[in-house]
Every structure is written in C-alpha cells, then in structure tokens.
Structure 1
Amino acid sequence: MRETEFWERMRTHLGDGYYRVWASQHNLGSLGGRTVDEAMAAGIDCKTIWRAVWAALELPARER
C-alpha cells in the first residue's frame, strides 16, 4: 500500500477534519503504543499501520 492510498482511506473513514488529528493522537497497541504518525516516522509499512487502524476502528472486512 502506498502512503497516498493510506491517507485516502483515513480521510474516507474519519473525515477531512478529523483524520489527521486521530493519526497524531490515537495510540495503537498493535503498533507498540505508537500513533499513526509515530509509526510512519519509525518506518513501519503503511499496510501494517492500516491493519492496526482497521482493527481499532472496527471496520468491515471488505475495508481491510
């Protein structure tokens, strides 16, 4: 998954006004307690980050 696709999915599911805030403030246990922004800075693959976001948001299987 490319970073642009990742951010588009985030925007789709969280909305224009909230997705960046969520990415900077919500800690994900499956990413070692990192936020999305911290995980990206640490070089974690976007697909891995998306799976953590998908689980945290309890999105449908088709969105995985």
Structure 2
Amino acid sequence: MIPRKRNSLKDHADMDWGLYRYRHLVENAFARLKQYRGIEKRYDKLKRNYESMVAIACGYLWLPM
C-alpha cells in the first residue's frame, strides 16, 4: 500500500508502515540488480544460468554491507 499525500483529508490509520518499509527495501534491491546489464536484459538462454547470475549479483551487492 502506498501512503497518501501529507495534505490528504483522509487518515493514515490503515497504513502498515512496517510492511511499507520492507516493500521499499525489496524494490530498492530489484533496482540495484537491474544495474547489471546481463540480468536486466536476460541474455542467458537457460533458466539455471540466469538464476545463478542473479544469485552471484545478490552476493556481490550484499558483500559491501
């Protein structure tokens, strides 16, 4: 769920901020993965090769943390 604008007349009481925070982290992870050209364009022909490249890229992104 995307939050309403700050000047909205309706209340944000039904907003789950914890879930929104995790969704934001997942979206940022996909945005960072798409910086790799091979993953973005899906150049691999086999599913296993593509999945292994995604796993390598995730590991590479996780290392600097």
* TM-score w.r.t. length of structure 1: 0.36
Higher helix share: 1
Higher-Rg member (1/2) = 2
TM-score normalized by the length of structure 2: 0.36
